[in-house]
Amino acid sequence: MPSDSTLGYALLGLLQQAPRSGYDLRKVFVSTPMGLFSDSPGAIYPALKRLSRRKCIAPITTASGGRRRRLFAATELGRRTLASWLTQEPTRDDVARRWDVLMLRLAFKSASAPGALLRFLEAIQAHLSEYTGELERFAANQGHQMPLAAQLAFESGVEGYRAQMRWVGRAVKRVRRRRRVR
Amino acid sequence: MPSDSTLGYALLGLLQQAPRSGYDLRKVFVSTPMGLFSDSPGAIYPALKRLSRRKCIAPITTASGGRRRRLFAATELGRRTLASWLTQEPTRDDVARRWDVLMLRLAFKSASAPGALLRFLEAIQAHLSEYTGELERFAANQGHQMPLAAQLAFESGVEGYRAQMRWVGRAVKRVRRRRRVR
DNA sequence: GATCACATGTAAGAAGTTACATGATTCT
DNA sequence: AGAATCATGTAACTTCTTACATGTGATC
């Protein structure tokens, strides 16, 4: 029952799409908005080693010729491990404190059935709606006694969640439409 | 030149507002939207110990009577350390990858002059505008070949940053107004 | 042949997580 | 007295950061 760090799951997700080397993976983090993760070799190579030890990924014998490169691919166990991470029901804490990780999970759910995707989004929507309510109650109680700078910081948070409320509404509609078309 | 973790600065910021115990600090993280931080004693007490060792905070001799409680307060060195953290110019990376930390810094800038606050917000605005541009270019290039789930995750990010663009615009106006009034 | 970019890795240290340990005070 | 809560702390483990080390192929 190997439990991985978020970085581990990110690597696993990318390796499920296509075999890549540690260097390739690094480049993905540098050159795409997945920059949430560090491009540091000191994080990536040890993480690959862990995944490898747990049999979630396996090196591919490269036909070589070019530079020395160690390509890895996700194993069947790796795919299952990733799938069970992706399938976990979004919690209140995911929504309130780990939005970025939640969106990483969503991004990798490409292989999911539209129904699963829809349930995932609807769970997010429910927690989001409850949490923005909490924030607004907090503002109503504490809002006026906060200094200006603190008020602004708080409002940034509220605005962010409100934007995600609008986003998830549109997302749900889009997936429902897609589902009917199929 | 003691360098602290983000949690360390969060504790320092709260202790600058008023003396508190480790337990008090924990409660702040649990009961306010500062939930970004862990309420785990295993993180908080060692962090207090470090700050104490670095002379950034000092225990207050409590007049006691009630429960056993160790109150801490920020020292002069602590205030200066915090101030220098708060004064650092927001970078592109702060905006693109550490928004939550940036907002924590903003929240503690209550003691800053309106001019400093304004410059802080304007720097955020500049980086934000550049970064959302990058994201939109990325969407224009890569957007259509992404699977639906990945597209949705990406759009969530873009929407979040767009919301912050609107927020920072309003924030700047509000601080400018406040400044004129003074 | 020297130099630069590619590519992989390790070592030391910092900090967080989980889980446990311990005692004091209040409540019933 | 016993239970619940308050309050502080420690230990083992995991992971990340920073900095360094190493070697290869391509380029001038």
A167 to B156: CB separation less than 8 angstroms, yes or no: yes
Which window residues (70-99, chain B) lie with Cβ within 7 Å of strand D? 70-71
Per-residue pLDDT, averaged over B13-18, amounts to: 96
Secondary structure of A32-50 as H, E, C letters: CCCCCCCCCHHHHHHHHHH
Mean pLDDT over all residues of chain B? 92
**Helix B114-142 vs helix B99-107: angle between axes, to the nearest 10 degrees?**
170
Rounded distance between C-alpha atoms, residue A28 and residue A39, angstroms: 9
- Option in B97, B117, B156 nearest A164 (CB): B156
**pLDDT at residue A180 tops 80:** no
A41 touches strand C (CB under 7 A): yes
pLDDT for the residue numbered B46:
97
The answer to whether the beta carbons of residues A20 and A72 sit under 8 Å apart is yes
- Option in B109, B162, B167 nearest A149 (CB): B109
**pLDDT at residue A106 tops 50:** yes
Q: With 0-12 CB in 10 A as exposed, 13-18 as middle and 19+ as buried, what is A47?
A: buried
CA of A20 to C1' of C8 (A): 14
| Confidence class for position B182, pLDDT limits 50, 70, 90 | low
pLDDT for the residue numbered B144:
84
Per-residue pLDDT, averaged over A127-155, amounts to: 93
A178 touches strand C (CB under 7 A): no
B103 to A175: CB separation less than 8 angstroms, yes or no: no
pLDDT for the residue numbered A1:
47
pLDDT for the residue numbered B64:
59
pLDDT for the residue numbered B59:
95
Residue type at position B165 = M
Which window residues (37-56, chain B) lie with Cβ within 7 Å of strand D? 41-42, 45-46, 48-49
Q: pLDDT digit string (tens) for B113-170?
A: 889 999 999 999 999 999 999 999 999 988 788 999 999 999 999 999 999 999 999 9
Q: Which stretch of DSSP H or E encloses residue B119? A: helix B114-142
Q: pLDDT digit string (tens) for A65-82?
A: 566 789 999 999 999 999
B40 touches strand C (CB under 7 A): yes
pLDDT for the residue numbered B117:
97
A101 touches strand D (CB under 7 A): no
pLDDT for the residue numbered B1:
47
- Option in A107, A164, A166 nearest B150 (CB): A107
Mean pLDDT over all residues of chain A? 92
pLDDT for the residue numbered A37:
83
Return the DSSP state at B36: T
Whole-Å CA distances, B159 to A165, B73, B135: 10, 40, 10
| Confidence class for position A63, pLDDT limits 50, 70, 90 | low
| Confidence class for position A141, pLDDT limits 50, 70, 90 | confident
Share of chain A above pLDDT 70, in %: 95
pLDDT for the residue numbered A39:
79
Per-residue pLDDT, averaged over A8-33, amounts to: 95
Per-residue pLDDT, averaged over A127-148, amounts to: 92
Per-residue pLDDT, averaged over A107-119, amounts to: 93
More confident residue, A142 or A157: A157
